[in-house]
Amino acid sequence: MKVKFCGAASTVTGSCHYVDTGHVKILVDCGGFQGGHDLEKMNYEKFPFDPAEIDYLFLTHAHFDHVGRIPKLVKEGFRGKIICTAPTRDLARIVLEDAAHIQEEDYKHYISKVKDKRIPRHVRERAPEEGMQYALHEPLYTADDVRLAMDLFETYEYASSVELSEYIEFRMRDAGHILGSAIFELWVHNKVGRLRKLVFSGDLGQPGQRIVRDPDLIREADYVWVESTYGDRLHPTKDETVLEFLSILKKAQEKNGKILIPSFAIERTQEILYELNAFYEGGLLDDLEIYLDSPMARAATEVFVRYPRFYDEDAQRLLAKGDDPFVFPTLHFTHDVDESKRLVNRKGIAIIAGSGMATGGRIVDHLRNHLEQKETTVVFVGYQVRGTLGRRLLDGEKQVKIRGRELQVNADIKSISGFSAHGDQRDLRYWLRAFGNSPRKVFVVHGEKDVAHGFAENIRKELRLDAVVPEMFDEVEIE
Ligand SMILES: [Zn+2]
């Protein structure tokens, strides 16, 4: 059997794992690269396989870095089946439509600038600005390509094994990362007819996370692909995280400035709303007006509302009591750009908007308008990839340029790591321990290079498993 690492190898984004069993060719995830131009450029490169030859694409979940290149795959000839859970399909549609839209808009903006002869040439030809990630290229795909891709989706439930052909059987288990996220167990026949079990962790959630359940443990595998985003650190406990969030909000509220929360539209936003609803219901923070200024997060929240059977017990109990975590009196939704713009003069309010790493979206405008004011508090509630505006602010850069304006950063920049939708080092090791000594090899993927190597070393020592960190486009023969 041949496996190839076509993304998220010694890096965090662009997840795409290729397996040629001799009988069938499969992909697990087909994500986009994010985090700086060098990485994003890779979205435009040719796939290191022929898309037309792929039989199945298994999707672990709907985040852009796991689904972002699907329409490109279809454009280049893929006509196989795309297999995932129902929430993953619905969320993937939102993510891909959004990506197509941003690319088309950014490109239009870039072209209009290039043609504007009033702008000096050296400015026109300069690298794209913050928040213009695709500008130098034609869109990777359009809304029409997304529609074609959506026709290939087939959804299944967790825990039921499905025989796709005499050569391949799969089962999805709950990865506890975002709504509908799955770990894939695949049973395939190798060239000499022996049955081998491959397990792909996808992104593994943090036990105790709101709304979603804890990740399922898998007892056996011959080969494991495991993520390592937080393979080098431990998260604070959930209680500490929630208290820290509350105290940051209360302090920020006293300054009577803006509270800006860059948030991923999917899962993180809903978890934040879940906590804010609890603060409201508990009378802990019932006078802070909150604006969800993200059409994408709104659409994603609607998907959450459609699939309560994917919630964990706590969230289901809340619903049964009649307390909808996504509805409370201080929560407001903006309906259009004008409404979003009108928020500029409102003091002492909180705005939740995307994108989560401030690489685009309405949060970039809010940051542009408010980063210079010291009354402003920016609260990052998610992982910030190297090279993104979010990461640069977190790293303490005092001068940034956003959409043509040089800004002095005077705002208070805060970060809460405990909301992570990824397990930490201990959670990942706990998950791996369930395999006992069954794996012949563990491929450590989906982590910054140094983190992935550190984590591989850790599991070699602690779990005595043969763990390796593949490089991008490495090809490995497995038995
Ligand atoms: Zn993810």
pLDDT tens profile 121-163 = 655 555 444 444 445 567 899 999 999 999 999 999 999 999 9
Q: Indicate whether 373 and 301 sit together in one domain.
A: yes
Query: Rounded to the nearest whole angstrom, what is the distance from the C-alpha of residue 372 to the centroid of ligand 1?
Result: 32
- CB 404, CB 135: distance < 8 Å: no
Q: Indicate whether 384 and 473 sit together in one domain.
A: no
Using alpha carbons, select from 53, 75, 207 the residue that is nearest to residue 143.
75
Q: What is the CATH number of the domain that holds 250?
A: 3.40.50.10890
Q: Indicate whether 38 and 168 sit together in one domain.
A: yes
pLDDT for position 21? 93
Q: Which helix (H) or strand (E) holds 305?
A: helix 295-306
Angle at which helices 425-433 and 449-463 cross, to 10°: 40
Angle at which helices 295-306 and 86-115 cross, to 10°: 170
Q: Indicate whether 162 and 250 sit together in one domain.
A: no
**Residue 47: pLDDT band by 50, 70, 90 thresholds?**
very high
Query: Rounded to the nearest whole angstrom, what is the distance from the C-alpha of residue 147 to the centroid of ligand 1?
Result: 22
pLDDT of 354 higher than 70? yes
pLDDT for position 359? 86
Distance (Å, rounded) from C-alpha 186 to C-alpha 151?
A: 23
Query: Rounded to the nearest whole angstrom, what is the distance from the C-alpha of residue 214 to the centroid of ligand 1?
Result: 15
pLDDT of 223 higher than 90? yes
Domain boundary among the residues 368, 400, 415 is at 415
Distance (Å, rounded) from C-alpha 348 to C-alpha 20?
A: 56
pLDDT of 278 higher than 70? yes
Domain boundary among the residues 397, 415, 433 is at 415
For β-strands 290-292 and 377-380, DSSP reports them as unpaired
pLDDT of 69 higher than 90? yes
Q: What's the average model confidence in pLDDT over 49-61?
A: 98
Q: What's the average model confidence in pLDDT over 259-284?
A: 95
Alpha-helical (H) ranges within 58-207 are 64-67, 70-75, 86-115, 121-124, 143-150
pLDDT of 36 higher than 80? no
Using alpha carbons, select from 104, 24, 112 the residue that is nearest to residue 71.
104
Query: Rounded to the nearest whole angstrom, what is the distance from the C-alpha of residue 450 to the centroid of ligand 1?
Result: 20
Q: Indicate whether 54 and 29 sit together in one domain.
A: yes
Query: Rounded to the nearest whole angstrom, what is the distance from the C-alpha of residue 416 to the centroid of ligand 1?
Result: 18
Burial 45-82 (b: 16+ CB within 10 A, else e): eebebebeebbbbbbbbbbbbbbbbbbbbbbeebebeb
Distance (Å, rounded) from C-alpha 9 to C-alpha 452?
A: 9
Q: Indicate whether 358 and 466 sit together in one domain.
A: no
pLDDT tens profile 386-413 = 888 999 999 999 999 998 899 999 999 9
Q: Indicate whether 31 and 140 sit together in one domain.
A: yes
- Average pLDDT over all residues of the chain: 92
pLDDT for position 124? 54
Q: What spatial distance separates the first Cα and last Cα of the chain, rounded to whole Å?
A: 6
pLDDT for position 130? 47
Query: Rounded to the nearest whole angstrom, what is the distance from the C-alpha of residue 352 to the centroid of ligand 1?
Result: 19
Percent of the chain whose pLDDT exceeds 70? 95
Retrieve residue 285's tokens: 């923070």
Give the chain's domain count.
2
Query: Rounded to the nearest whole angstrom, what is the distance from the C-alpha of residue 177 to the centroid of ligand 1?
Result: 7
Q: Indicate whether 394 and 450 sit together in one domain.
A: no
Q: Indicate whether 131 and 104 sit together in one domain.
A: yes
Query: Rounded to the nearest whole angstrom, what is the distance from the C-alpha of residue 446 to the centroid of ligand 1?
Result: 10
- CB 268, CB 209: distance < 8 Å: no
pLDDT for position 234? 93
Q: Indicate whether 225 and 263 sit together in one domain.
A: no
For β-strands 377-380 and 259-262, DSSP reports them as parallel
Distance (Å, rounded) from C-alpha 449 to C-alpha 87?
A: 31
pLDDT tens profile 159-206 = 999 999 999 999 999 999 999 999 999 999 877 888 999 999 999 999
Query: Rounded to the nearest whole angstrom, what is the distance from the C-alpha of residue 64 to the centroid of ligand 1?
Result: 8
Query: Rounded to the nearest whole angstrom, what is the distance from the C-alpha of residue 67 to the centroid of ligand 1?
Result: 10
Q: Indicate whether 39 and 130 sit together in one domain.
A: yes
Query: Rounded to the nearest whole angstrom, what is the distance from the C-alpha of residue 332 to the centroid of ligand 1?
Result: 27
Structural domain of 269: 238-415
CB-based burial label for 203 (10 Å; 0-12, 13-18, 19+) = buried
The residues, any chain, with a CB within 8 Å of residue 417's CB and separated by 6 or more, are 235, 236, 241
CB atoms closer than 10 angstroms to residue 6: 24
Domain boundary among the residues 362, 397, 415 is at 415
Ion ligand 1: residue ranges with CB closer than 5 A: 63, 203
pLDDT of 420 higher than 90? no
AA letter at 386: R
pLDDT of 237 higher than 60? yes
pLDDT for position 138? 79
Q: What's the average model confidence in pLDDT over 287-291?
A: 96
pLDDT of 305 higher than 70? yes
Q: What is the CATH number of the domain that holds 74?
A: 3.60.15.10
Query: Rounded to the nearest whole angstrom, what is the distance from the C-alpha of residue 200 to the centroid of ligand 1?
Result: 13
For β-strands 412-415 and 377-380, DSSP reports them as parallel
In the block, residue with structure tokens 């999917």 = 266
pLDDT tens profile 448-464 = 999 999 999 999 999 99
Instruction: Using a cut of 0.95, tell me whether the model's pTM lies above it.
Output: no
Tell me which of 169-173, 242-246, 370-374, 387-391 is least confident.
Answer: 387-391
Q: What's the average model confidence in pLDDT over 212-236?
A: 96
pLDDT of 340 higher than 80? yes
Percent of the chain whose pLDDT exceeds 90? 82
- CB 403, CB 158: distance < 8 Å: no
Q: Indicate whether 433 and 406 sit together in one domain.
A: no
CA distances from 153 to 27, 86, 131, 145, 408 (A): 14, 9, 31, 14, 47
Sign of CA dihedral 23, 85, 235, 248: positive
**Residue 40: pLDDT band by 50, 70, 90 thresholds?**
confident
Query: Rounded to the nearest whole angstrom, what is the distance from the C-alpha of residue 184 to the centroid of ligand 1?
Result: 14
- CB 380, CB 415: distance < 8 Å: yes
Query: Rounded to the nearest whole angstrom, what is the distance from the C-alpha of residue 63 to the centroid of ligand 1?
Result: 5
Query: Rounded to the nearest whole angstrom, what is the distance from the C-alpha of residue 266 to the centroid of ligand 1?
Result: 9
